[in-house]
Amino acid sequence: MEARERLVQAGVELLEAHGLAGMTQRQIAVRAGVSHGAPRHHFPTYAHLLAAIAREGVEELDDRITTSLAADDPREALTSACHAVIEFAVARPAMFELIARHDLLEGAGGRLREVTGRWLGLLSERMVEVRPQADHRHGLALWAGIQGLGVMLGRRSGEAITDEGVDATAVVDVLLDGVLGKD
């Protein structure tokens, strides 16, 4: 494996183990078994390295979303996509948060926005099949709810507000009912 790939893989491993705040460029270099200067040789800035790390999660999440949205029934497709996002967020909370950190990744390369920006359009297109008057605002409302729920479940912050736990399926149903209307 080339040094660049080792740096990205080491970054993914540290991100998953310690979160974004718990890793540094130097730690990534050490874990990758390269010199402390190697990250700067392969990535102009730390943000570029973070974008390369995020790319791995973006590709996985993109596959989950696009596969889910391909279902024949549009409401079923939307439900499946919402659950795919939540499952990813719970399984890989630090990666999910990094993907959403446009403030860190903006302009850092990796062409991430081409992928993540497409998700809103895909959601909105399927929503129009259920509710013809829906537009990008409905897709944005759904994404905001799902992203928030994903972060809540990934961080386990729902435990701070309820002893009953968070029923993700019920919350997804409420979100979809809210943006699409009830069947």
CATH number of residue 119's parent domain? 1.10.357.10
Q: Is the pLDDT of residue 91 over 70?
A: yes
Residue 129 in tokens: 């099949």
Q: Is the pLDDT of residue 182 over 90?
A: no
* Residue 156 and residue 81 in one domain: yes
* Residue 85 and residue 175 in one domain: yes
* Residue 31 and residue 72 in one domain: no
**What is the count of structural domains for the chain?**
2
CA nearest neighbour of 87 among 4, 143, 146: 146
CATH number of residue 22's parent domain? 1.10.10
At 165 the pLDDT is 82
Query: Is the Cβ–Cβ distance between 181 and 131 less than 8 Å?
Result: yes
- Phi, psi values for residue 138, rounded to 5°: -65, -40
18-35 pLDDT tens trace: 999 989 999 999 999 999
Kindly tell me the sign of the dihedral angle through the C-alpha atoms of 52, 143, 65, 111.
negative
| Average pLDDT score, the chain | 91
Tally of CB atoms within 10 A around 160: 8
Q: Is the pLDDT of residue 151 over 80?
A: yes
* Residue 12 and residue 37 in one domain: yes
Instruction: State which amino acid sits at residue 178.
Output: G
Question: Maximum distance among all alpha carbons in the chain?
Answer: 59
Domain range spanning residue 89?
Answer: 51-180
Q: Any residues with CB less than 8 A from the CB of 111 and at least 6 apart, and which? A: none
32-80 pLDDT tens trace: 999 999 999 999 999 999 999 999 999 999 999 999 999 999 999 999 9
Q: Is the pTM of this model over 0.75?
A: yes
